[in-house]
Amino acid sequence: MIRHAEKADASANPHLSEAGKIRAEKWKSFFIDIALDFIYSTDYNRTRETAAPVAISKRKEVVLYNPAEVSLEALINKHPNKTLLIVGHSNTVPAQINALLAREEFIAMKDSEFGNLYLIEIEGKEIKTTLRIL
């Protein structure tokens, strides 16, 4: 799971800023050698634009989801043994992971944090989480 890249402004549905476009390309490079089965994004310009370079490079469609209606656990159960990239927001990404873990492990990201990658690996009933910074 990742948060969308830097946004152009504080409007309700902004596009990515130039820095955000650069970060989205960095995510594409990061995932270049990682097989992804599905790419999910919330239905906002900034999240779709963050997911787009990765999706284009992987020749995958971006599947839209609403984190208020679809849990991380539901997505995982829908795609067992698959690798997903999920693009969300500073408050939804940590909240979704915490709900999956049934504990408060991650706090909402600061407005200035855009390079966090939350890697979630599931083997049987064991869930391992790793936070990486790009």
- 28 sits in the region (left: phi over 0; alpha: psi -120 to 50; else beta) called alpha
The answer to pTM > 0.85 is yes
Secondary structure class of 99 (helix, strand, coil): helix
Helices (H), the chain: 18-31, 45-58, 72-78, 92-101
Domain ranges across the chain: 2-133
In percent, how much of the chain has pLDDT > 70? 100
Contacts of 65 (CB under 8 A, 6+ apart): 40, 41, 42, 75, 86
Beta-carbon contacts of residue 57 (< 8 Å; ≥ 6 apart): 28, 31, 32
- 30: pLDDT strictly greater than 90: yes
State the fold for domain 2-133.
Rossmann fold (3.40.50)
- Indicate the pLDDT class of residue 77, thresholds 50, 70 and 90: very high
